[in-house]
């Protein structure tokens, strides 16, 4: 039986396989988005406490991240080769990549929740002695994600990643300094692998 579907760059998956994968990811993202909305509501209702304000900050970023996960391939520019059902533009692709990079705030909040716990325990859970740490946490959580997201945006580094969405990538896919054929990038930095290591893999 002949293969009726065109294979893609996403691990040579067929369009049908990509459709199944996309539907599953979108369904899971909708469920996660619902959970994030519930978590945000509960944290907001208890926002008189430092712990819940930190959870509130994290859950707001989680909502943003899940929204763009639901959008997924629809943000990829129309006409992108091998992409499944692309409906977006270069701007929607850049926006998706930007907010994906900004989502590093989520694990950073988790890290600083440990800092909060340490300071609270050291001060025997006396709010007057550990409340000072809150503004520093909110600021430090955002320094790298916001700074790197803006910097990568100026490099036009958010493009279709060859799988299902827009993230750190240059086009055409596989171009740049590490291309075995020496293919120059038409959009995005030539040293994408190096940037992906510094701004994605290392902080992750």
Residue 191 CA: distances (Å) to CA of 165, 184, 204: 20, 10, 19
Backbone angles phi, psi at 107, to 5 degrees: -65, -30
Angstrom distance (rounded) from CA 185 to CA 193: 12
DSSP secondary-structure letter at 88? B
| Residue pLDDT, tens place only, 55-84 | 999 999 999 999 999 999 999 999 998 889
Q: Are 185 and 175 in contact (CB under 8 A)?
A: yes
Angstrom distance (rounded) from CA 188 to CA 191: 9
Q: Tens-of-pLDDT digits for all 204 residues of the chain?
A: 444 444 445 556 787 888 898 999 999 999 999 999 999 999 999 999 999 999 999 999 999 999 999 999 999 999 998 889 999 999 999 999 999 999 999 999 999 999 999 999 999 999 999 999 999 999 999 999 999 999 999 999 999 998 889 999 999 888 988 788 889 999 999 999 999 999 999 887
């Amino acid at each position: 039986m002949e293969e009726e579907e065109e294979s893609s760059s996403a691990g040579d998956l067929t369009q049908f396989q990509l459709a199944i994968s996309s539907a599953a990811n979108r369904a899971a993202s909708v469920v996660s988005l619902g959970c994030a909305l519930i978590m945000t509501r509960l944290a907001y209702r208890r926002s008189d406490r430092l712990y819940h304000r930190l959870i509130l900050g994290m859950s707001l970023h989680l909502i943003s991240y899940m929204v763009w996960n639901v959008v997924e391939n629809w943000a990829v520019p129309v006409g992108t080769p091998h992409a499944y059902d692309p409906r977006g533009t270069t701007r929607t692709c850049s926006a998706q990549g930007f907010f994906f990079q900004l989502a590093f705030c989520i694990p950073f909040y988790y890290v600083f929740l440990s800092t909060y716990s340490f300071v609270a325990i050291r001060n025997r859970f006396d709010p007057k002695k550990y409340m000072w740490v809150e503004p520093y946490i909110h600021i430090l959580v955002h320094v790298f994600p916001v700074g790197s997201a803006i910097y990568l945006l100026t490099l036009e580094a958010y493009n279709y990643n060859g799988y299902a969405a827009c993230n750190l990538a240059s086009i055409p896919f596989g171009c740049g300094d590490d291309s075995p054929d020496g293919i120059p990038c038409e959009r995005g930095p030539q040293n994408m692998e190096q940037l992906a290591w510094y701004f994605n893999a290392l902080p992750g």
